[in-house]
Amino acid sequence: MASEKRNGHRRVAIVRGLRTPFAKAGTVFAGLTALDLGRMVVQELVQRSDLDPNEINQVVFGQVIPTLTAPSIAREVVLAAGLPKRIDAFTVARACATSIQSMVAGANAIALGDADVVIAGGTESLSDAPIFTSRPLAHALAASSKGKSLPDKLKPFQKLKAKDLIPVPPAIAEYSTGETMGESAEKMAKENGISREEQDLIAFNSHQNAARAWKEGRFDNEVMHVLVPPKYEQSATKDNIVREDTSLEALSKLKPVFDRRYGSVTAGNASPLTDGAAALLLMSEEKAKALGYEPLGFLRAHAFAATDPGDQLLQGPAYAAPVALKRAGMKLSDIDLVEMHEAFAAQVASNLQALASKEFAKKAGFNAPVGEVDRSILNVTGGSISLGHPFGATGARIVTQALNELKRRNKNTVMCTVCAAGGLGAAVILERA
C-alpha cells in the first residue's frame, strides 16, 4: 500500500536490522554482559545506517533474564552506546517474544505520531545469568550489612544451615506449573503425535538452510563482526551453533533429554542457550522518505495471544497467527514466506499441525483453520535450532532475516511467529510494498 496512513495511523517502516553473531552460552561471548552486547549492536546499527543520533526519539529494548545491576536495560543501552542522553527509553519483556514486543511498542509510538525514529530490539547473555542465594542467606546478608561491629556482622550467619549456602541457579520453568519448556515440548510431542523423525528433520533442515545462507553470504549485511573485549584479540564473525555437517543419522543417535525413556526431544532438535543481541531501526514512512532511506519493509499487522500454560505451553503462535492475518486482511495463501521461531522442533511441528487443523480452529474459536504451511517457504535461511536463541533478541533477528530474504527473492509478504513462556504467542505480518 502506498498510503502514508492505514486506519488513520501512520505507516511504520523497518529501515534496517542488525544483530551480533549468536554464540552458544559459555563460548566466545562468555565474558560479556547483555548490556555489552546491546550497546555494541545499537552503536553499529546507528553507524551502518549513517543516522544522525539526534534524529532518534526513543529506544525500546528488552531482556528476559535480567541483569540485576542494570535492570533498566533500554536506558542503559542508550547511555552506554553514547547516544544523546535526552533520548527516551524503556524496557520491555515478553519472554521469547520480547523483541517482537519492543518492535510493536516502538511501531505504536510511530503510528500514533508520538515518535518518528525508534530503535527497538533485545539482548541476552545466558553466560551471565544471575545466580541467586537462598532466602535465609539473603536475610543474613541484609542483617549483616546493618551490623556496626564485627560480632554484629557475623551473628546473622550463625543460624544458617549448610544447605542455605548452596547457590540457587536460575530455572527456565513455568512458575505456575513448575514445568520447564523442554518438558512442555515433550508433552506436546506426545499429545500431538509428533514423531522423533519429524523433529529431527525440522532440525536438519534448519542447519542445512542456515549453513547455505552463511555460505552464500545472505547474512553478511545483517550480522556484525564483534572484536571481543577486553583484549580484542578474539573476534566473532558468524554464529557458532550452525552445523553444516550434521545429518539425520547423527541427529537420530542423540538421546532424549527430558524423558530419557520414552521421549523424543533431544539437544539436537531443540534450540541451545545462546548469547546475542539484535536491533531494528524503525521510522514513519514519511520520515524515512525525508531522510532518504529505502525501507526493508513495513509492519502491516500484529497480534499477541495466550493459552493455558498447563495445556500446550508453546502453542501461542497458532492462536496469534489467525488474528494477525485477519487484521492484515489476508489469508495464508497471500503469504510468500513464513518464519517460525524454533524453540523446539516439537513446538514447530505442533503449531504447523494446529494451523491446519479444523479441530484446533473449532477449539480456539476460529471460523476456519489458517491452512497448511508450505514447508518450502518455512524458515528458508535457518531458525533458532541452528542459529541460536538469545531470548530477548530472537524476534528482531527473525524480522530482519525475513525482510532481507523477501527482498532477495523479490517477494512481498511474510508472517513471523514466536512462541513464548507463559503460554504466550506473537505473530506479525510484514510487507515490502
The residue ranges of the chain whose pLDDT is under 50 are: 1-4
Per-residue pLDDT of 304-328, as tens digits, reads 999 999 999 999 999 999 999 999 9
pLDDT of residue 163: 86
pLDDT of residue 6: 60
Grid coordinates belonging to 17: 536490522
At residue 366, φ and ψ (nearest 5 deg) are -100, 155
DSSP state letters, 208-225: HHHHHHHHTTTTTTTB--
pLDDT of residue 247: 97
Domains of the chain: 5-129+271-432 (3.40.47.10)
3-class SS at 207? helix
Average pLDDT, the chain: 95
Residue whose entry in the numeric block shows the C-alpha cell 544458617: 160
Q: Which residues of 226-256 are buried (b: 16+ CB within 10 A; e: fewer)?
A: bebeeeeeeebebbebbbeebeeeebeebeb
Check: CB of residue 90 under 8 Å from CB of residue 51.
Answer: no
The residue among 83, 126, 107 whose CA lies nearest residue 15 is 107
Grid coordinates belonging to 427: 505473530
- Whole-angstrom distance, CA of residue 183 vs CA of residue 256: 11
pLDDT of residue 5: 60
List, in sequence order, every residue forming a beta bridge with 90; answer none if it has no partner: 60
Active-site residue list: 96, 389, 419
Grid coordinates belonging to 178: 513448575
User: Counting runs of H as helices and runs of E as strands, what totals does the chain give?
Assistant: 14, 14
pLDDT of residue 171: 67
